[in-house]
Amino acid sequence: MPKPIYVLNGPNLNLLGEREPEIYGADTLEDVRKRCKIRAAAAELTIEFHQSNHEGELIGWVQEARTKASALVINPAGYGHTSVALLDALKTLEIPIIECHLSNPAARERFRRFTYVSLAAKGVVSGFGVMSYELAIDAAAALVRASA
Ligand code: DQA
């Protein structure tokens, strides 16, 4: 069995379902976790799913993923637009990194158009709501399979 896919979620994503539902939808983060788990299981993979409002905690999981994960899916939320430290941590990984967003940041305010995380990501999935995560898991699974 390959190592799990780490799925990391940045600040405020714990409030999914309540937070700006017109942008982020009605599903909760627990719904997202369940759908990621099902999608990974379809590819005979497992996930490690985490959320934090703290930059350092997210960086801790990224560092853990260096040895414990087969791929990393990350919705960095607001930290994607601000965190050089998160980018630096991601750059230490040799496994594929897929960035994902529920909304399409490129179609929103100007400051959302750039993410530091993209500089380390193999690819980005944005704008499909929870399906962004499912597509990111599919991409991660395909990359894991290709490297096996
Ligand atoms: C987000 C988009 C970010 O710009 C924002 O800061 C978020 C959520 C998304 O999933 O669409 O918190 O990452």
Rounded-to-integer distance, Cα 34 and Cα 39, Å? 9
Residue 4 Cα distances to 36, 44, 71, angstroms = 12, 10, 7
Rounded-to-integer distance, Cα 20 and Cα 11, Å? 14
67 Cα: distance to centroid of ligand 1 (angstroms): 27
pLDDT reported for residue 106: 94
12 lines ligand 1 (CB under 6 A): yes
pLDDT reported for residue 92: 98
pLDDT reported for residue 55: 98
Residue where the block lists tokens 């087969």: 70
Q: Measuring from atom 8 of ligand 1, which residue has the nearest CA?
A: 77
Average pLDDT value for residue range 59-83: 98
Token representation of residue 132: 């962004």
pLDDT reported for residue 108: 96
The dihedral through the CA atoms of 16, 85, 97, 42 has a sign that is: negative
Summary mean pLDDT of the chain: 97
**DSSP-assigned letters across all residues of 16-31:** TTTS-HHHH-S--HHH
Task: Tell which phi-psi region holds residue 129, choosing left (phi > 0), alpha (psi between -120 and 50) or beta.
Answer: left
64 Cα: distance to centroid of ligand 1 (angstroms): 23
The three-state secondary structure class of 90 is helix
Q: Which residues are known catalytic residues?
A: 24, 101
pLDDT > 90? residue 1: no
pLDDT > 90? residue 137: yes
pLDDT reported for residue 73: 98
Task: Say which DSSP state 47 is in.
Answer: E
How would residue 148 be classed by pLDDT, with cut points 50, 70 and 90? confident
